[in-house]
Amino acid sequence: MDLKDKIKNKQAVVGVIGLGYVGLPLLLEFIEQDFTSIGFDIDDAKIKTLKQGKTYIKHISQNRIKKAVTGDSLSLTTDFSQLDKTDCIIVAVPTPLDKHHQPDLSYIEKTSETISQYLRKGQLVVLESSTFPGTTEEVMRPILEKSGLEYGTDFYLAFSPEREDPNNPKYTTKEIPKVVGCNNPYGLECTLALYDQVIVQTVPVSSSQAAEATKLLENIFRSVNIALVNEMKMILDRMGIDIHEVIQAAATKPFGFMPFYPGPGLGGHCIPIDPFYLTWKAKEYDIPTKFIELAGEVNTSMPYWVVEKVVEALNERGKSI
């Protein structure tokens, strides 16, 4: 039986590497759709917690964990030699920035090295970590091919960006459409078949690079618009105009406007980081990214502006910071 048929018949074993806010809920979706699955993580404390039926992620209920671990379909381990038991391997590891705001791909590289030790014919590897266009093809593929297996013939490699919005009750993992990109036609078919089992809608694109760029565009769009409204906040504050009143009024326009709201800067795992992945990669092509970098500057300056406003408010009330 070929890989696509194994997936469609739910006979494929799914492995998820990295049991954080992306990997764990995805693993649970496969378990709940009756796939035999293996969860991998280097953190032994996480594995022990899950095996006890407990959760370490706020929006994932303990009952859901308990139900998953009491069945026969789930294994949890720090032993990566069990990767050879899987048919599909999903990688959901961190992609932070280093202290110089350069992409840190060490987690992806180390995970790829580990997978290459146990890679066997017929397996599918899917990267979900947010990164710059070309990572799957230029970084992961050469490492995986150290196994002696050939991409597109012996194994398949795809990219499908995570779109988690933790603690959002309206959009859970299975309800958010999944973009899928692969540079091999059959690999794309297998990846679509895999996510079709657990996600409400899959959206195929022409390549892994296009899928990687999709994730960056989503978060750069938010970063730029947050920067715009933060700048508007500072301007209108000086003018004595309430930015929230203005946003509320502008949002009544039924087309051409999407409300964004000012804040004390950027938080979360993605928006403060992802734009820098594209600006770094764009240098390879001699393309300046002034717009993206300017948005980053505005958002980075917001905490300082907020502190100044707090100091002013305290001074007006005769209190010292």
Residues carrying an active site annotation: 270
Cα torsion at 306, 299, 167, 23 (round to 10°)?
Answer: -140
Report the side by side order of strands in the sheet with 155-159. Answer: 74-77, 37-40, 14-17, 88-91, 123-127, 155-159, 178-182, 202-205
Distance CA 74, CA 66 (A): 11
> Alpha helix (H) ranges present in 168-289?
185-196, 208-239, 243-250, 274-282
3-state helix, strand, coil in the chain (%, to 5): 50, 10, 40
Cα torsion at 116, 213, 42, 269 (round to 10°)?
Answer: 170
